Structure 1
Amino acid sequence: MEMELPASGFVLAGGRSSRMGADKAMLRFDGTPLVQIALDKLRFGCRRVAILGNRPELGDFGMVLPDGLTEAGPLAGIATALRRVNEEETARDWVMLMPVDVPAVPGTFLMAWAWQVARDPTAPAAGCFRVEGRVQPLVSMLHRELLPYVAAAVDAGERKVLAVLEAAAAQTAADGLGTRRSGLRVDEPKETFWRGFWRPSELERATEPLWFANVNTPEEFARVEHEFAEAKKSLERTGKE
């Protein structure tokens, strides 16, 4: 995507990877570290990108913003991202979040969706996806005005990302900030964006069931990597990639 999104991009890489047994951010998927894959996807539309995490080795890949709260989960990183955007003297009103463990989702798809969220001035202050009946709050677009509500939730010890974002979006509208509606915008990716101005490549189409597959364990990582590689090989054999 050529146009710059009115958002700063942030990779969520602050987890302890306890189920993986190794730092997920450093694992190589299709030859590239997961953290680099996530950064590259955000760069399709975000000029400024950073990594949310507390490990100095992540600095080899780009700017790292530690949240300083090792037990607060993703919400601490989200609050850090919102705080950073509010501190910047730019026209970027949005935070685009990308977790480090969904390597198969197409970056151009995310940016096409993000533009749909950002361009509507009456849309809610938070948007994300529902995949196979489950809402995915960590792949999301969040308006900068959510900061006080998210920060207050973190200070209060809240850890459930979806519940906090839903409440923050509703409270933002209730307090009369901007023109955004209450509630959380939740999109079905395949139904909403399979057609229209965004078109998947042959590989993206073939790997669509893997787009939002999390790789939290060695078994999940191996399965997703294998299925992605098999789809790629199949297309290479037919010359369709």
Structure 2
Amino acid sequence: MHITAAITAGGKSRRFGSDKALYRVGQYTLLEIAAHNLHACNQRLIIGPYALKGWQTYPDPFPGVGPISGLVSALQHAQNGWVFFTGVDMPQLDAHYWSHLHHHLNPDVQVIVPLNEEGKMEALAAAYHVSALPHLQAALQEQRYGLRQVIERKLLHHTLSGVPQHHFKNVNTRQDTTDLIDG
């Protein structure tokens, strides 16, 4: 089965205070950590202004509207099959997490998305089938940028509960990276 890895890295890092993608946690940048966690995928895409060996880089077609734009770009450039989609600021989505998600891929749905402890979808820790692209493009055109809402209303999806919550730790501040090193 063909799996494309896609890391969206086009945010402004306003709360962080500097470029999150290039911030070092230990000896690796957050971008390198995300890339390493997805290294087993057949095709590897970065949506944003960064380059890594072995990864193709594409711009975010609509910067500033949120991750839906990066997802549309990833699905447009994916050769076929499924896209494992994440943000650069979710370093605990490790290879074990993606392997677990892989076991839940289902040809009858367009999205496999985990639920966090509040019961909300973690749309930046999900698998999207390329068949979801027209629905996501339509949402962008209609200026509906909320990825969770598009999944709920327009895409055939399967939610996963019981996923260990530490995977969804999002890096928004420098303190969040200290917690990663200490934890």
- Whether TM exceeds 0.5 here: the answer is yes
Aligned residues between the structures = 181
CA deviation profile, 1:168-195 (whole Å, cap 9, x unmatched): 31xxxxxxxxxxxx4x2111244xxxxx
Q: Which residue of 2 aligns with 1:233?
A: none
Tell me if 1:68 matches 2:61.
Answer: yes
5+ residue gaps, structure 2, are none
SS in 1 for 2:10: coil
**TM-score, with structure 1 as normaliser:** 0.69
Are residue 216 (structure 1) and residue 172 (structure 2) matched? yes
What is the RMSD of the two structures over their aligned residues, measured on CA atoms?
1.8
Cα distance, 1:209 vs structure 2: 5.2
- The runs of at least 4 consecutive aligned structure 1 residues that moved more than 4 Å come to none
2:112 matches 1:116: no
Q: Please tell me whether Structure 1 or Structure 2 has the larger radius of gyration of its CA atoms.
A: 1
Give yes or no for the alignment of 1:153 onto 2:139.
Answer: yes
Letter in 2 for 1:104: Q
The one of the two structures with greater contact order (alpha-carbon pairs below 8 A, sep at least 6) is 2
Aligned to 1:196: none
How far has the Cα of 1:222 moved from its partner?
A: 2.1
How far the C-alpha of 1:60 sits from its partner, in A, is 4.3
Q: Does 1:77 align with 2:74?
A: no
Shift of 1:8: 0.9
- Please tell me whether residue 165 in structure 1 is matched to residue 165 in structure 2: no
Deviations 1:55-104 (CA, angstroms, capped at 9, x unpaired): 2xx1245321102322221111111111112xx3xxx3111102111112
Q: Which residue of 2 aligns with 1:49?
A: 44
Q: Which has the higher helix share?
A: 1
Q: Give the aligned residue type for 1:105.
A: L
Q: TM-score, normalising length from structure 2? A: 0.90
Give secondary structure in 2 for the equivalent of 1:166: helix
Q: Could you list the runs of 5+ residues in structure 1 that have no partner in the other structure?
A: 170-181, 191-207, 228-241
Which residue type is aligned with residue 145 of structure 2? R
Structure 1 residue 142 corresponds to structure 2 residue 159: no
Q: Is the 8 A contact 2:81 2:129 kept in 1?
A: yes
Match of 2:5 among 9, 12, 34: 9
Checking the alignment, whether the CA contact within 8 Å between 1:29 and 1:103 is kept in structure 2 is no
**How far apart are 1:166 and its partner, in Å?**
2.0
Structure 1 residue 111 displacement after superposition: 2.1
Q: Distance in 1 between matches of 2:161 and 2:37?
A: 20
| Contact 2:22–2:29 under 8 Å retained in 1 | yes
From 93, 110, 113, the equivalent of 1:125 is 110
Distance 1:29 1:189 in 2: 28
Greater Cα offset, 18-27 or 212-221: 212-221
What is the rounded CA distance, in whole Å, between the counterparts of 1:130 and 1:209 in structure 2? 9
Are positions 1:59 and 2:47 aligned together? no
